[in-house]
């Protein structure tokens, strides 16, 4: 059973949330990416809410700009510090006296989770990242690796002023291609059936600007003649260290985020475990839910 509601945060932002499990139980928070929404976690919410699988309170917000959540028009409202504060505020409401038992995050949700774990490590006991690059290794690869620069070139399309109508035309043809193109040689795309497409259409029809503003607000984009230069961008090591137990699950078939992003990750995340899925792509939540559940159960039980 999935509960849904609007949670108003202290700063006035409202997040539409999905949850399973009893309030007062240890909280697992799940964060989605682009162009997804909180519903992608439903199977995991229901699984980990069951007493025999931990009996957690499992919570998945639609992040700022998505579905029925607040979607400010100013791009600056999507800078990391604001998005992370949304999550800190939500965690304080759902788990006021104890840290999150786990923060599980994919894609853009993972980018925010890395930052939250760095800035507020006392707010979570464990971190789980699914195909979301650590900012230190991502900046390194964007600066030095032509393969990652080419793989991330789509980001410079998503920041264009006309990205919204281009993505929406022909029944969201380019967005369906996102699912197909970010996993050449994928195990299968059988999950993207008519029912799943209908769920995504419902979310996308509410507006794409909020999700695109995440890309517009970040300086971490591949070099581009129209965009900011990465050459002068430097991130202090203190802003990159994550000292909580961390599990990274990585689909090696991801053609947008290459395996080199895992290289030397342990220098930023000393308590690191990495699980690689050879045939999964960027969309591993849809493709390999059973494997992800198994990895999570083992990690959370440690």
Q: List Cβ neighbours of 268 (8 Å cut-off, separation of 6 or more).
A: 134, 136, 137, 240, 241, 242
Q: How much of the chain exceeds pLDDT 70, in percent?
A: 96
Say if residue 153 is exposed, middle or buried (CB neighbours under 10 Å; 0-12, 13-18, 19+).
Answer: middle
Q: What is the mean pLDDT of residues 19-24?
A: 97
pLDDT over threshold 60, residue 226: no
pLDDT over threshold 70, residue 127: yes
**pLDDT digits over 71-100, tens only?**
999 999 999 999 999 999 999 999 999 999
| Domain that residue 74 falls in | 3-301
HEC sequence for 62-92: CCCCCCCCCCCCCHHHHCHHHHHHHHHHHHH
pLDDT over threshold 60, residue 41: yes
Report the range of poorest mean pLDDT among 197-211, 222-236, 278-292. Answer: 222-236
Name the domain count of the chain: 1
Q: What is the mean pLDDT of residues 179-192?
A: 68
Report the range of poorest mean pLDDT among 72-81, 139-148, 174-183, 207-216. Answer: 174-183
In terms of pLDDT, which residue wins out, 187 or 137? 137
Q: What is the mean pLDDT of residues 238-258?
A: 97
pTM of the model: 0.96
Q: What is the mean pLDDT of residues 201-207?
A: 98
Residues 21 and 66: their CA atoms lie apart, in Å, by: 23
Residue 35 has φ and ψ, to the nearest 5°, of -100, 50
**pLDDT digits over 264-281, tens only?**
999 999 999 999 999 899
Q: List Cβ neighbours of 138 (8 Å cut-off, separation of 6 or more).
A: 220, 261
With beta carbons less than 8 A apart as the criterion, state whether 104 and 58 touch.
no
With beta carbons less than 8 A apart as the criterion, state whether 98 and 229 touch.
no
> What is the pLDDT confidence band of residue 227, given thresholds at 50, 70 and 90?
low
Q: What is the mean pLDDT of residues 149-154?
A: 95
Radius of gyration of the chain (CA): 18
Predicted local distance difference test score (pLDDT) of residue 24: 95
> How big is the CA angle at 244 (ends 87 and 135), to the nearest 5 degrees?
65
> What is the pLDDT confidence band of residue 188, given thresholds at 50, 70 and 90?
low
> What is the pLDDT confidence band of residue 183, given thresholds at 50, 70 and 90?
low
Sign of the dihedral through C-alpha 277, 278, 281, 286 = negative
pLDDT over threshold 70, residue 31: yes
Q: State CA 147 to chain mean position distance.
A: 22
In a 3-state reduction of DSSP, which class is residue 19? strand
Nearest to 295 by CA among 269, 278, 277: 277
What's the CATH code of the domain at 292? 3.40.50.1820
Nearest to 82 by CA among 100, 64, 66: 64
Instruction: Pinpoint the alpha helices (H) of the chain.
Output: 42-49, 80-94, 108-119, 135-144, 146-151, 154-158, 163-181, 194-204, 209-217, 284-287, 289-301
With beta carbons less than 8 A apart as the criterion, state whether 105 and 244 touch.
no
Buried (b) or exposed (e) across 213-232, using 16+ Cβ within 10 A? bbbbbbebbbbeeeeeebee
Nearest to 107 by CA among 5, 251, 9: 251
> What is the pLDDT confidence band of residue 224, given thresholds at 50, 70 and 90?
confident
Mean pLDDT of the chain: 95
pLDDT over threshold 90, residue 223: no
Predicted local distance difference test score (pLDDT) of residue 231: 73
């Amino acid at each position: 059973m999935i509960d849904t509601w609007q949670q108003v945060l202290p700063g006035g932002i409202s997040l539409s949330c999905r949850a399973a499990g009893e309030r007062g139980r240890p909280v697992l928070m799940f964060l989605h990416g682009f162009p997804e929404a909180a519903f992608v976690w439903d199977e995991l919410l229901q699984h980990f809410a069951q007493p025999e699988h931990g009996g957690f309170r499992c919570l998945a917000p639609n992040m700022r700009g998505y579905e029925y959540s607040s979607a400010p028009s100013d791009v600056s409202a999507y800078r990391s510090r604001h998005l992370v504060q949304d999550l800190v505020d939500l965690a304080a409401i759902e788990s006021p006296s104890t840290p999150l038992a786990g923060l599980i995050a994919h894609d853009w949700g993972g980018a925010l989770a890395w930052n939250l774990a760095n800035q507020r490590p006392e707010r979570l006991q464990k971190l789980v990242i699914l195909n979301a690059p650590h900012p230190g290794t991502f900046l390194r690869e964007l600066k030095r690796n032509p393969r990652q620069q080419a793989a991330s070139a789509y980001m410079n399309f998503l920041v264009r002023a006309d990205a919204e109508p281009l993505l929406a035309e022909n029944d969201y043809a380019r967005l369906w291609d996102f699912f197909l193109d970010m996993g050449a040689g994928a195990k299968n795309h059988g999950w993207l059936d008519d029912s799943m497409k209908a769920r995504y259409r419902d979310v996308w029809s509410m507006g794409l600007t909020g999700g695109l503003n995440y890309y517009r607000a970040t300086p971490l984009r591949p070099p581009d003649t129209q965009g900011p230069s990465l050459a002068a961008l430097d991130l202090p090591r203190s802003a990159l260290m994550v000292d909580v137990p961390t599990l990274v699950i990585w689909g090696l078939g991801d053609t947008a985020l290459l395996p080199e992003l895992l290289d030397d990750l342990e220098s930023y995340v000393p308590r690191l475990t990495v699980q690689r899925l050879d045939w999964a792509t960027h969309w591993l939540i849809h493709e390999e839910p059973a494997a992800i559940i198994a990895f999570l159960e083992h990690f959370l039980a440690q």
